[in-house]
Structures are given as structure tokens and as C-alpha cells.
Structure 1
Amino acid sequence: MSYDSRTSGLPGPLARVGFPHLLAATVVLVTATILLGVAAKATGSGLACQANWPLCDGGLLNLFPANFPSFFEWIHRVVAMVAGFFIVGTALAAWWGAVDDPRVRYAVTLGLLLTPVQVLLGRETVLTYEMTILSLHFWTAVTIFALFAVAVALVWAPSLSAGHVTAAMAIGAAAVPVHVALSPLFIGSYTAVIQTAQYAAVLALLTAVIVGAIVGRRRYDGRPARAVVLAAPALAVAVLVLGRRAVMTFAPALDALYLFASVALFATLAAGVALGRRD
């Protein structure tokens, strides 16, 4: 199946940028939205707009915010809005003929379909602020990020070598102990900065294992190396789920399972690095 991406389906300036770069910019904006959302939740900024949505407490465009948390929450909303426009534009470009691979079109389209759901969930985090809503809001955002990361890996796959896959595995392996070290298991004060840094490690980890699974299975020659890169995404999801549950419930059993899954993921990624170098 061809991975070729074209620019003929893009209008005007976007044709000069190219679909792969448009897709990469969308992932960057989605990443910024997620991290700003984590920081907004951790600082309580989501409640600073006095249950107003989509406007805030400073009038139109929040030109006169009541306080810094209000301003911070508005910045999160603005970045999320820009990311939404990029998601729509990327999906339209994919169907206008900017990419040949149907898997890319389906991935970005599913991300597009989840976007209005995410917007409604974001609204409910302001109006109701319930833990169930907050969790759904987070997981929907991560799913959108993962879908666009898959699309990026598929589009850029022809330009990536086995060496890039090995580097991705190394980045993923480095992100695992960072994620664990920044968890409440080892950090007494789980501040907004710590939380944001921890979830930045999560997104780096997810990107690494997605690149490894999609590109590594084609670039790696040995069967053990391919098996390792294909196993890593499932372990990464387990670490993310268990880590988040451990933070929310403080259950010793979940803490132990989270640490076990983290060790298993680190060992898997380290093995991927070693096998990749050998191959």
C-alpha cells in the first residue's frame, strides 16, 4: 500500500506547506491542548470562569479576566479552538486527495468525529466538574492524540529508518522512569508543574511506541525486534491507565500493578533498543 502523500488536494498556502507538515502541526496543537488542560485542572483554573462557557468572566474574548486562573483557562480554550480548526482542516485535506493511504483518512476522520464530543465534555467540566466527566474528557483527548499520532507515523513512515525506530524506543524507555518518578508514589507535592511534566512524558511515550509499532515492523529485520515493538503499545496503555487510577484512588494493589507494568514496559523498550541496534 502506498504511503505517498500529495499536496494537490490542499488549497493555496497549505499546498506549499504539505500534508505531512499540516498533520504534524495538528499533533503539536493537540499536545498543547492536552497539557494546558492538565495544568488548568491541576490549578483549578477550570472553575475560574464562574461556570461560564464558552465565554469566561471577562466579557467577549475574556478581554478583562477577573484573575490569572481565568486568563489561564481562556488560553486553554483558545488553543483548543485552534487545534479544532486544524483537526477539521487536516481531515478535509485528507479526503480532498492530499494523502493516498486510507488508514490515514480513517484515523483523522475518527479524530474529527471525536472532536465535538470532546468540546461538549470540555463544556461539562466547567458547568458540572464531576470526576467522571473529567476522566472522559481526558481519555477522549488522549484518543484523539493517539489517532493523529498514528496518522503522522503512517505519513512519515517512508522517511523513517530503523535508526529512527531505535531512537524512538530509546525516548520511550527514558519516558517510563520519568513518568514513575513524577507520580504521587515518589512526589509528595503533586503540583501543577509536576502533573504537566508527567503527562508530557506520557505523550512522548505514546508517540514513541506508535512510531515503533508502525515503522518498526517494516524496518526491523528480526522477528524478536518486530515482536517487541508491537507489544510496547499495549504495555504503554496499561501503564497510563494504571498510573492514572493509582493517582486517583491511592490503592496499594494498583500502585504495585502500576510499578510492575512500568518495569515490564521499560524492559520491553530497552530490548527494542538492543535488538534494533543488532538488526
Structure 2
Amino acid sequence: MNFLSTIVIYIIVIISIAFVLVKANTDDSDDENEPIISRRNSDTKVFVKSNSIKRKNSKRKTFSTTREISRHKSNHNFSKRRSSTSNKHNGFDITPYLKAINPKKTIHENVWGGCNYRYFCDNEYRPYISRVISEINYIRISFGVPILKESKFLSRIAKNHAKKMSQTGRLSTEHSKNYGLNVGAAYYESSSSIVTRWYEQRYQYSYGSGRGSSLTSMFTQLVWKDTAFMGVGVSRDYRYLYLAVCFYPRGNIEGLYKKNVFKKISNWYKIK
């Protein structure tokens, strides 16, 4: 009887120990799994948030660029609408240009006369850029087409292109659906002649055929009627000054030359 009682007691003890061990293992397992799950959820949240930020930043940059281009398109459309109710100069007041002109001098002489080339590079080439803009607009007035407004957006493109040319030492043009591009280079002392050289291509242009060519593309872009904005970029190396001018909307479109390139107006400085 005592022997049987002892065996029963041993069995009960063994069962109790086994039960305690199983419960302990189960509890430990739950404790270990919980932090892992929490970390995974946390990591997932961080990852999603990070990607969300990247997507937002990407969208923001894209939206900013698109908005800037759209704004220029909108401005151009507004300019077109305004021309029908204002005057043939697209609402721009050309009086300051006409008041400053001396009809006995050429456009180049009126713009660059008495200008010291040593000051061209002051204030990030602003004295030079201002005269380039003036010369282009005088040329456009003399052909009876609206003057152009300076665009910061196009100026950034032009500046980057001019810098690239000064680094490579070569003139290069980029063909774009959105904007036209005129480029030129000259010794620093004679850099006031670049736009004038573009203008002189008019002698090669045939108004009768109404067709453009590589020999006249700089001139026809200068006087293209439907162009409304321009941006000017300048850079230099140890020897030359490089000039790039972007135009929007671009000119030199096949089939549209006769509608956009006209003959020069005699006595244009008397335009009202």
C-alpha cells in the first residue's frame, strides 16, 4: 500500500512539473513575439512615411516646374487676347523705345553707342543683358511685330546653356518643341556685335518663298511675330563671351514663315 501511494505521489509531481514548464514556454514565446510584431509594424510605418515624403517631394517639384511653364503659357495667351482689345504691340508701351531712338543712327549705334565693354560683366552681366534685350526689341519694332517680355524661367535655361558653351568652347543649339534658341560668341571687346550678326542674316532670307534655312534661322527667330517671351544667358571663358537667347513660343516652324516674318517698315521709328 505504501509502495502504491509513493508511485501515485511521484506521478502527480511529474505531471505538475510538466504543466508548469509548458505554461512557462508558452508565456515566453508570447513575450518574444510581441516586440517583433511591434517592430515590424513600426518599420512598416516609417517606410511608408518615408516613401510618402519622397512621393510628395517629387510631386511638388514636378508641380512647380509644370506650374511655371503653364504660367508662361497663360501669360502668352493673355498677351494674345489683350492685343485684340489694346493695340498692335500686344499691350506693351513702346514709347520709351521710340523716344530714345536717333533715326540718323543704326539700331546698333543707338543701343551700344558710348557703352564701355569693361562694364558688361558687372552685376552678373546685367548691363550687357539689358542692351541685348533692347536691341532685339528695337529690331522687332522695326519689323512691325510685338516686343518681347523678359522671362526668368527662360533666362535660367539660357544661362545654363551659355555656361555649357563656355566650358566646352563650342557653340551648340538644342532643338526643343517649346522654345527657340539663338547662340553666338565673340571676343569680349566686340561682344556687342553678336545680335547684329544675327540681324544681318536678313540679307539671305527670301520673303517670296517664305522658307527658312540654317543661314537665316537666327534672324527669323528674332522677328518671329508669335514669339512673346525671351530669356538671355551670358558666360565667358578666358577669351570669348558666349550669348544664348531663348524664345517662347519658338519660331522657325515650317509652313508659318509668311505669317510671322515680314519686311522691315520704312520710317519705323515713327510708329505710333
Would you call these one fold, judging by a TM-score over 0.5?
Answer: no
The bucket for the TM-score relative to the shorter chain is: under 0.3
Which has more radius of gyration? 2
The alignment's TM-score, normalised by the length of structure 2, stands at 0.26
